[in-house]
Every structure is written in C-alpha cells, then in structure tokens.
Amino acid sequence: MDEKTNEDLTQSFSDKSRGLLQTSHSTEQSVFSSQCVRVDTSNQLDTADDCKQFDTPCDDQTHVESGKHTCEVCTKTFTRSGDLKRHRIVHTGEFSLSCKVCNKKFRWTTNLKDHMHIHTGERPFSCEVCNKKFTQAGNLKKHVLIHKSERPFSCKCCNYKCTESSHLKRHMLIHTGERPFSCKCCNYKCTDSSHLNRHMRIHTGERPFICKLCNKKFNVSSNLKHHMLIHTGERPFSCKLCNKKFNVSSNLKHHMLIHKG
C-alpha cells in the first residue's frame, strides 16, 4: 500500500468519526448521528419474558386481559379469580361443607345456612298475602305463584296443574305407578326422596329437629312446629260448634267425635 493511499484511508476514517459526534458550544450536549446509532424510544415491555430479561419485577396479572379468568372445562369466563375457583366446584362435584346436626353436605355456604333453618325451626321468609313462612327464599317464590293463580306445569293425563316442574314429575308417578325410592332396611317404597329420608329416621333413630326452649327433639319438622305451640300458647285449631281451641289438628279431630256421638 503506498503512502498516498494510507493518507486517504486515514482522512476517510477521521471524517466518519466526526460524523458520529458533533459538539455544540451553545448547549454543550452530545448528539449521536441517526445513521450510526438506532435508539429504541419504547419504554414498555410486551411480555412477562421481557420482564425476566431485564430482571424487572413482574406481576403476571398485568399480562392477563381483565375479565378473562376462564374455566378449563366449559370455557366460561369470570372477572375475578375467586369466582372461577367457586365455579370449579360444579365440575368436581365437591361437597366440602357439612351440617353439624345431620351431616348432610353442601357445596355452598348459602345452601348450608338455609338448611340450618330446618333444624332451628326458623322461617325468615314470609308471604305478604297469607303470612305463610318458609325456610328458604326459593320456596317462598314458588309459593307466591299460588296467589297469582299461575300454574304453568300441567299433566298430559289429567287436569292436574302445578307451580313447579318437580311437583309435576312427582305427580306423574301416580299414573305410572312407579315408586323409585326404596328403603334398604325394609320393603318401604315411595315416590319422593324427602319421604324416604323421613322414613329412614325410623331405622336410625335420628331426631334432627330440636326445640330451642326445652331441647326436645323430633324426627319430623312438622312435629317440632306443633310442639312450639305449647310454648307460645297458640291454639290455631278451633271447633266450629263450640269454639273450643286446640294446638294440634289431630286433637280437634278427636274432639269432633264428641259432637258426632
């Protein structure tokens, strides 16, 4: 390489170096040439991996779109992770809550709370029309249909109409003669699961309905209800002939035999 060529290369390198850095005497700031240096002006991280790359603390929730907590089984979405957690119980069939009195199990605390009204005899939901009281709000809602004369479920075999589909299903057993619920201890069969549960207490000796005032126990809720009239002094059943009053309907029935001789 000759001397002239070497000088040309040196001059060219010096010119490029001056192009990289220019000094302003007024501001005394260094400015990089855009041709040689490309600056990324974006300050945002796109993914959780970007956070890890720069050792920046990262909350995974910032990368999850709001309201997209999705169930893996049915793809139903929820706005909160807690709602999704409770929803999963539907698929697992988990019954983690149990009644301390009768050991019946429930999925939700609200169902257990409503169930406890059976044992305490409490009926916090009352009908505004006839003042009939219920242990659950759902039962009251169904009862109100009676006053509205709404009976949307009708039997195809007879003129029977009712307010609930479960009542119609139970009614249809009359026409079919089917008794799907049977006792494992004896030959008793019935059309309703609640009747079977009540029957089973004969074998188990269970008395889950307890009076709060005297702790007397009963195997049927209606017996507890009648028993409470002893403490309240109420006598809702009265004779139409002599106006004598009774706290139990069966006592009134026996009393009527006196008038009939």
Residue 107 pLDDT > 80: no
Cα separation values, 195 from 96, 140, 154, 207, Å? 25, 21, 23, 15
**Tokens at 85, concatenated:** 């957690």
Nearest residue to 161 (alpha-carbon basis) of 144, 146, 147? 146
Q: pLDDT for 151-206, tens place per residue?
A: 888 999 998 988 788 888 888 988 988 888 899 999 999 888 888 988 999 899 99
Length of the chain: 261
Q: pLDDT for 50-78, tens place per residue?
A: 444 444 444 443 334 445 788 877 878 88
What pTM was computed for the model? 0.38
Count of alpha carbons within 13 Å of 210, Cβ hemisphere only? Answer: 11
Is the separation of the CB atoms in 206 and 215 below 8 Å? no
Task: Name the residue with tokens 């983690």.
Answer: 96
Is the separation of the CB atoms in 196 and 187 below 8 Å? no
pLDDT at 26: 40
Residue 39 pLDDT > 70: no
Q: pLDDT for 201-256, tens place per residue?
A: 989 999 988 998 999 999 888 888 888 888 888 888 899 889 898 888 888 899 99
pLDDT at 249: 83
User: Can you tell me the mean pLDDT for 88-100?
Assistant: 72
Cα(170)–Cα(95) distance, rounded to whole angstroms? 26
